[in-house]
């Protein structure tokens, strides 16, 4: 990988003595006050700069424009931004208040001390970051289910093989739902038959009920997933039943799966917002997640189905869910409708989540969630994690080739910003 293709990580940041030499901060620049550096409360709280070059808080203006900040500030001020849960209860790893001064009284940098200060801030930023993140690739299922034109079985199978070759350990292969409702996945049985000899990775499939579960097992599935909603309206439009009715269905599925030693993953859709009801209270997401966990789901994926979440709504949602389900049993699943997926993933990692769902080339969308765009692109997630020094065991180059393969077949540009940027680098090198 050339230097242009490598993510700029913390190890590549310039030293502050270098910044001094290029006079990054001029005598007329607006400089942060001593208590404005670090994460903690200041990281989430906005600032406005006056003409006197001093940074002053303007909470009322920001609260009016961004109402979610009031809720977020309450969370961050609680000093419990990074939390981990265990089966016996929650262990709280607090950042504490780290908005202490990193500047000298005259706001000028001291070149002898600033390198140490910068790395101190960096270490605090990375304090809650996992060393390894498991990526659950959902492209072949969630990514293709909303395509208007039928994707041939052979293309789906080749995509799965390419994704597996990139190092992804979990690739959601397909869904055993009624072809009447999701015709794009009508070939689920054929797909499973074609990939049965793929060794190494897990290839879970989605099953909406006992009928789907039985069909999946008959086709050779060794892991399944069920999906419930935190929104009553979305549950009725998506799977034609209430939340409680869906949970009753899944208890039957998890019970049958347990007898066959089949692992079951659970999804909770619309954890922060619903296309019908609007904002979804964190308590609703927590309730459904707890029910899925209690019935035996080994992992619960929290899905922002329509991509309306921001760190301001994701943090309180995770706080509520982590109070009833251990963090190590949780995953996050973000759609990128408003471009908030990566920031949402970042705060999730800082709170102790270490499993992330994503879709190659940003494929996706939900046929029952109007306006929902594709999932966060796997390439973009891997690029960000590489820059953070977090391991994924995924080969980005091979992943890019897999994304390019499916994008060319679909006849459109990849939804991955990383893929687009690196393709321009390659094109430029040929000039």
List, by residue number, the catalytic residues. 366
CA 365, 367, 368, 371 dihedral sign is: positive
Packing angle, helices 210-218 and 188-195, rounded to 10: 40
CA distances from 110 to 14, 115, 186, 396, 423 (A): 15, 9, 65, 39, 41
CA–CA separation, 198 vs 108, rounded Å? 59
CA distance 83 to 388: 20
Which residues on adjacent β-strands are paired with residue 399? none
For residue 415, the Cα-to-chain-centroid distance in whole angstroms is: 15
CA atoms within 13 A on the CB side of 80: 15
| Helical packing angle, 188-195 and 153-165, nearest 10° | 40
Q: Could you tell me which residues come within 8 angstroms of residue 149 by beta carbon, excluding any fewer than 6 positions away? A: 410
Q: Which of 399, 430, 383, 394 lies closest to 5, judged by CA?
A: 383
Nearest one of 79, 48, 53, 50 to 65, comparing CA atoms: 48
Q: What is the 8-class DSSP label of residue 150?
A: P
**In Å, what is the CA distance from 315 to each residue of 34, 69, 86, 332?**
26, 11, 18, 12
Rounded-to-integer distance, Cα 379 and Cα 282, Å: 29
Tokens of 142: 């969630």
Q: What are phi and psi of 401, to 5 degrees?
A: -65, -40
What end-to-end distance do the CA atoms of the chain give, in Å?
19
Query: In angstroms, what is the C-alpha Rg of the chain?
Result: 23
**H or E element, residue 358:** strand 355-358
In residues, how long is the chain? 431
DSSP structure string for 263-319: -EEEEEE-SSEETTTEE--HHHHHHHHHHHHHTT-SEEEEEETTS---HHHHHHHHH
Distance of CA 15 to the CA centre of its chain: 31
């Amino acid at each position: 990988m050339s230097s242009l293709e490598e993510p700029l990580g913390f190890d590549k940041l310039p030293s502050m003595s270098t910044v001094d030499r290029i006079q990054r901060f001029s005598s007329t620049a607006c400089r942060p006050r001593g208590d404005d550096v670090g994460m903690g409360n200041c990281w989430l709280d906005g600032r406005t700069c006056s003409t006197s070059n001093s940074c002053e808080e303007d909470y009322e203006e920001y609260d009016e424009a961004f109402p979610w900040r009031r809720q977020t500030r309450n969370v961050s001020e609680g000093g419990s931004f990074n939390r981990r849960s265990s089966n016996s209860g929650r262990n709280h790893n607090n950042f504490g208040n780290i908005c202490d001064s990193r500047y000298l009284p005259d706001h000028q940098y001291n070149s002898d001390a600033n390198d140490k200060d910068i790395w101190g801030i960096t270490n605090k930023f990375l304090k809650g970051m996992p060393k390894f993140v498991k990526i659950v690739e959902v492209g072949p299922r969630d990514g293709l289910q909303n395509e208007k034109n039928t994707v041939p079985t052979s293309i789906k199978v080749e995509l799965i093989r390419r994704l597996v070759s990139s190092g992804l350990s979990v690739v959601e292969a397909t869904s055993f739902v009624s072809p009447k409702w999701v015709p794009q996945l009508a070939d689920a049985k054929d797909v499973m038959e074609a990939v049965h000899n793929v060794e190494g990775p897990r290839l879970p499939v989605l099953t909406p009920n006992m009928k789907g579960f039985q069909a999946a097992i008959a086709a050779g599935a060794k892991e399944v997933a069920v999906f419930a909603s935190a929104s009553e309206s979305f549950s009725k439009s998506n799977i034609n039943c209430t939340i409680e009715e869906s949970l009753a269905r899944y208890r039957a599925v998890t019970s049958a799966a347990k007898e066959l030693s089949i692992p079951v993953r659970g999804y909770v859709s619309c954890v922060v917002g619903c296309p019908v009801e609007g904002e979804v209270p964190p308590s609703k997401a927590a309730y459904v997640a707890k029910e899925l966990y209690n019935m035996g789901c080994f992992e619960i994926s929290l899905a922002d189905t329509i991509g309306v979440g921001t760190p301001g709504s994701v943090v309180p949602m995770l706080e509520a869910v982590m109070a009833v389900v251990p963090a190590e049993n949780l995953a996050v699943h973000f759609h990128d409708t408003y471009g908030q997926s990566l920031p949402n993933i970042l705060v999730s990692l800082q709170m102790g989540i270490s499993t992330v769902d994503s879709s190659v080339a940003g494929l996706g969308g939900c046929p029952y969630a109007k306006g929902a765009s594709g999932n966060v692109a796997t390439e973009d997630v891997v690029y960000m994690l590489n820059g953070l020094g977090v391991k994924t065991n995924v080969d980005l180059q091979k992943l890019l080739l897999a994304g390019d393969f499916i994008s060319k077949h679909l006849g459109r540009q990849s939804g991955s910003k990383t893929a687009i940027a690196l393709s321009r680098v390659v094109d430029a090198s040929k000039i």
